[in-house]
């Protein structure tokens, strides 16, 4: 049974796509901590990030690094926070989060429930 993120990779489930190449995909988190909260995944399905082969692991972080400046600019945040949780979806991913304070990275607080218009508007900010 493919993960929900593999279904996004195959196009079975839609996403708000931020960027893509042959091996990696970035898309907006639909229940973000803050506007612009982005997930970066390898297209290859592996549950636990530390089980990725080393080139894919490095490639994932390199792909995330390339996205961060644009994300920071688009949301005018102080930093782009990066974190790995992986308790909900069994497909390796990193969270890129535009942050201005520690509380913007607090996964214990209620997440946002944006409309598709909100998500489209954030995508527009990122991708122009
Ligand atoms: P975790 O596995 O704990 O790192 O959390 C998985 C993240 O994926 C959560 O922040 C969810 O809001 C997000 N998420 C789950 N399903 C989707 C989806 N179909 N599209 C975008 N984000 C999702």
Mind listing the pLDDT tens digit of every residue in the chain (128 residues)? Answer: 899 999 999 999 999 999 999 999 999 999 999 999 999 999 999 999 999 999 999 999 999 999 999 999 999 999 999 999 999 999 999 999 999 999 999 999 999 999 999 999 999 999 98
Q: Residue 23 has what DSSP assignment? A: S
In this structure, the residue with its CA closest to atom 5 of ligand 1 is 88
Question: Is 93 considered catalytic here?
Answer: yes
For residues 127 and 16, what is the distance between their CA atoms, to the nearest angstrom? 11
For residues 15 and 43, what is the distance between their CA atoms, to the nearest angstrom? 14
- Residues contacting ligand 1 via CB (< 6 Å): 4, 13, 15, 29-31, 39, 85-89
Catalytic pick among 37, 91, 93, 95: 93
In this structure, the residue with its CA closest to atom 22 of ligand 1 is 29
pLDDT at 128: 81
For residues 54 and 119, what is the distance between their CA atoms, to the nearest angstrom? 32
For the CA of 31, the nearest atom of ligand 1: 12
Domains with residue ranges and CATH for the chain: 4-127 (3.30.428.10)
For residues 75 and 125, what is the distance between their CA atoms, to the nearest angstrom? 8
């Amino acid at each position: 049974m493919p993960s929900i993120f593999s279904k996004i990779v195959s196009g079975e489930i839609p996403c708000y796509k931020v960027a893509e190449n042959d091996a990696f995909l970035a898309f907006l988190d639909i229940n973000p901590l803050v506007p612009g909260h982005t997930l970066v995944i390898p297209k290859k399905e592996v549950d636990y990030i530390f089980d990725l082969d080393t080139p894919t692991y490095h490639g994932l972080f390199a792909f995330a690094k390339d996205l961060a400046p644009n994300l920071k600019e688009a949301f005018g945040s102080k930093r782009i926070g990066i974190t790995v949780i992986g308790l909900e979806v069994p497909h390796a991913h990193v969270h890129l989060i535009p942050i201005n304070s520690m509380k913007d990275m607090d996964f214990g607080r209620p997440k946002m429930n944006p409309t598709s218009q909100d998500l489209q508007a954030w995508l527009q900010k990122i991708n122009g």
